[in-house]
């Protein structure tokens, strides 16, 4: 009888290590796989952190506000200092002291029982005595009192218009800028278009970003509030059409509310016809106003550290480092900004602020 054929074993098929048998991997393969896993874990953690951060939002729960200061009536300007130094924004202006601003000859600041007017001079030209050949007379007022938090209600009846103008209603601590921050409540340049948009902006020292979750109706223009970014453009928000300029003025203006609290800074702009009843009655409650026009949450910006000792400031600059650059000025206005300002006194008749009452409230 023939012996049976020897039992054949295909060793390669049954006993060779499977690909998942880590014990059989070379050191190199092990190292590569370990490195890949580590990278995947890091990427996952970064994604989780980012998603969490992007969803983070401050708790703006209701605060109860009590009135602390009112700027109104014939004494409106009494609680402001008149800034008379060289313009820090390189404007083509000479900011005048209170005595000159109040004089019947110039009449650049004038308060009645119902409103306060702050104007650009319309009396001099390049060839008069005095003259406007090195800049036009204007006014910049800064509240003596400074604030580090609170709710500010600004009633604005008329915004300045015209070529070369750079009006602003803002808060800052100019002696400690940008360390103590700047909050621009109303600002625009070369206000010619009827539907001009108000721009609400923050300026800070390093460490204040708005690349975070925000709830606002306005359009964000930039996320870095830091003064060294983009030549100090700040983190601005456009408030929407006709929130500055002639269309805004023809409706009797409106009210801008700014809330400064550690959770963040929010601003609302209301047309005169749409004022919340609680503002009219003097018991403002931001938690009842709905989505803000501009929202600057403190998520990636320590508001308490970046914004301190803020004076309320109103001014009308002319030309300067924003309105006067050939590119910006040329977008809506003729010739060269400083020539226009020096030679065209009658063009500034509408370049005035008219304010109703400013009210400041503090959380109790």
Ligand X SMILES: *[C@@H]1O[C@H](CO)[C@@H](O)[C@H](O)[C@H]1NC(C)=O
Q: Which residues have a catalytic role annotated?
A: 182, 187
* Residue 272 Cα distances to 23, 160, 236, 253, 282, angstroms: 78, 17, 23, 6, 15
DSSP 301-337: B-HHHHS-SBEEEEEEEESHHHHTSHHHHHHHS-S-H
HSE-up of 28 (CA within 13 Å, CB side)?
0
DSSP 340: H
Least separation in angstroms between CB 345 and ligand X: 9
Q: Round to whole Å and give the CA distance between 202 and 281.
A: 29
Residues in contact with ligand X by CB under 6 A are 104, 107, 110, 117, 126-127, 130-131, 133, 176, 178, 180, 205, 227-228, 231-232, 308-309, 334-335, 340, 343-344, 347
- Return the number of the residue (94 or 238) whose C-beta is nearest ligand X: 94
Element (H, E) at 36: helix 27-55
Residues whose CB is less than 8 angstroms from the CB of residue 329 and which lie 6 or more positions away in sequence, other chains included = 163, 164, 190, 319, 323, 336, 337
Please provide the size of the chain in residues.
364
- The burial class, CB within 10 Å (0-12 / 13-18 / 19+), for 78 is exposed
DSSP 274-299: G--HHHHTT---GGGS-SBSEEEEST
Q: Round to whole Å and give the CA distance between 258 and 252.
A: 20
- Return the number of the residue (268 or 358) whose C-beta is nearest ligand X: 358
- Return the number of the residue (149 or 285) whose C-beta is nearest ligand X: 149
- Return the number of the residue (292 or 347) whose C-beta is nearest ligand X: 347
Least separation in angstroms between CB 248 and ligand X: 18
Least separation in angstroms between CB 70 and ligand X: 21
Least separation in angstroms between CB 308 and ligand X: 4
* Structure tokens, 269: 């702009």
- Return the number of the residue (293 or 315) whose C-beta is nearest ligand X: 315
């Amino acid at each position: 009888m023939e012996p049976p054929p020897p039992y054949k074993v295909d060793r390669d098929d049954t006993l060779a290590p499977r690909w998942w048998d880590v014990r059989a991997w070379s050191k190199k393969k092990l190292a590569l796989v370990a490195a890949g896993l580590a990278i995947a874990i890091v990427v996952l953690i970064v994604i989780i952190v980012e998603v969490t951060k992007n969803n983070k939002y401050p708790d703006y729960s209701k605060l109860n506000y009590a009135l602390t200061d009112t700027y109104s009536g014939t004494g409106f300007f009494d609680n402001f200092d008149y800034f008379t130094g060289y313009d820090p924004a390189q404007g083509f202006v000479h900011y005048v002291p209170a005595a000159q601003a109040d004089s019947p000859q110039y009449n650049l600041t004038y308060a009645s029982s119902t409103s306060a007017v702050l104007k650009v001079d319309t009396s001099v030209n390049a060839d008069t005595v005095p003259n406007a050949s090195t800049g036009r007379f204007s006014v910049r007022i800064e509240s003596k009192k400074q604030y580090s938090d609170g709710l500010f209600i600004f009633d604005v009846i008329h915004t300045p218009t015209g070529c070369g103008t750079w009006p602003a209603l803002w808060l800052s601590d100019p002696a400690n800028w940008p360390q103590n921050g700047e909050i621009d409540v109303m600002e625009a340049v070369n206000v010619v278009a009827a539907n001009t948009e108000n721009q609400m902006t923050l300026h800070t020292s390093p460490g204040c970003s708005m690349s975070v979750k925000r709830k606002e109706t306005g359009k964000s223009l930039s996320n870095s509030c830091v003064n060294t970014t983009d030549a100090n453009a700040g983190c601005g928000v456009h408030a929407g059409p006709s929130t500055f300029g002639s269309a805004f003025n023809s409706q009797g203006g409106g009210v801008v509310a700014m809330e400064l609290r550690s959770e963040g800074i929010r601003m609302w702009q209301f047309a005169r016809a749409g004022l919340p009843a609680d503002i009219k009655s003097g018991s403002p409650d931001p938690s009842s106003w709905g989505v803000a026009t501009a929202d600057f949450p403190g998520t990636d910006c320590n508001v308490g550290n970046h914004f301190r000792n803020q004076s309320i400031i109103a001014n009308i600059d002319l030309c300067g480092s924003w309105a006067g650059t050939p590119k910006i000025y040329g977008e809506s206005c003729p010739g060269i900004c400083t020539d226009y300002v020096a030679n065209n006194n009658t063009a500034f008749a509408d370049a005035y602020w008219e304010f109703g009452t400013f009210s400041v409230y503090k959380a109790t």
